[in-house]
Amino acid sequence: MISLLLVVGVLVAMFVAFNIGGSTTGPAFGPAVGAGAISKPVAAGLMGVFFFLGAWTLGRNVVTKLGSELVVDTGVFTLTTSITVLFFIGVALLVGNVFGVPASTSMTAVGAIAGLGLAGGVLDFAVMGEIVVWWVVSPIVGFWVSLIVGRYVYDRLDELVAMERSEGPLFTVDRSGSVPVPRVHRTTNRRELAGTATVVGIGCLMAFSSGTSNIANAVAPLVGSGNLAMNPAIALGGLAVTVGAFTIARRTLETMGSDITELPLTAAIVVAAVSSTLVVFLSALGIPASFVIIATMSVVGLGWGRATRRVPAPAVVTGDGESDDPLREGTDTDATEVPNPSALFDPLTTARIVLMQNVVPVVATVGAYLTFRYVPIFGF
């Protein structure tokens, strides 16, 4: 017979997954919806499908890491402690929403479990050290890759991605036969179709990467406790994420949900591609990655690269009215470092985001440790 406490634990886990679906659908498919490429229901459906694919394939690696490898004795994962850990994760999401900063759910989940492990004396410091090292390395990699793209490749990408919307919908449905068949609208050009496919494809990649990393944040404690098997846990978590995508994510899709999707379309694609690729790579290693921190540093790197890119020196007009621009004379000239103010990031906003994204996990770690160590019902 299923205990009432297990039902409560499953409901809390699904609530966390529900919030994950609501908070990640906007960043993933905001550019596609904002560009008119797909509708909100289609975005929600794609979010659910690709999140589940990511969770079912690579996501189980991260669930195993958090649920059984981060602590040397999984006996600390009772139903009561599992529900408490999920509570701290839910509070972190709430704090992030209150301050308008997307908190790192992965870092908070690791922090809460680490607090439990410390209180019980069962934390595996080697595994914790491996996770922390990747947390430091991955944003640095994201920063430098985005910086290089922003400095040397961005302008060409911008030309390729730029979409000039034609009149009418991108697709129409041919209902002349017995089975309706979607077809490309006759006014849609190839460039527009390619740009649309790129934007939607990047959104699917982001949804997949979210599944590989974030599913563990919702179900790892219950799986680690042995009260819920891996496959049912992933299925329930994926279902809750899909419900969140179809409901509370509609608002984030309208407002583009995060600073990433408020960037120009090309910049949003670069940041999403770099961040998602790193998250998928880390998930394959079983490392719970923080998409929001990697994406934040990617935004900074892209802005820095754009601000210091090499551009031709401006022409100088001589006294006789003739241009002294060597480029016009067909000769070579050294490029000059010219800052581009429009490409610069806001240092204060960036500092606030980075601070909050690190403070919230620390608070979760300390709060979990003090709770599990000194509240008598947990028995540590």
* Cβ partners under 8 Å of residue 81, min gap 6: 116, 221, 225, 372, 378
Interstrand relation of 310-311 and 181-184 (parallel, antiparallel or unpaired) = unpaired
pLDDT tens string 203-225: 899 999 999 999 999 999 999 88
Residue 357 tokens read as: 């994204």
pLDDT tens string 89-136: 877 766 665 665 666 788 888 999 999 999 999 999 999 999 999 999
pLDDT, mean over the chain: 79
Note the Cα 50 to chain centre separation in Å.
13
Identify the CA nearest to 205 among candidates 29, 57, 21, 37: 29
Q: 121-136 burial, b for 16+ CB within 10 Å, e for fewer?
A: ebbbeebbebbeebbe
Q: What is the pLDDT of residue 169?
A: 53
| Residue 156 reports pLDDT greater than 80 | yes
**What is the amino acid identity at position 190?**
R
pLDDT tens string 245-257: 998 887 667 654 3
Q: 238-257 burial, b for 16+ CB within 10 Å, e for fewer?
A: bbbbbbbbbebbbebbeebb
Identify the CA nearest to 299 among candidates 169, 142, 91, 183: 142
Q: How confident is the model at residue 14 (pLDDT cuts 50, 70, 90)?
A: very high
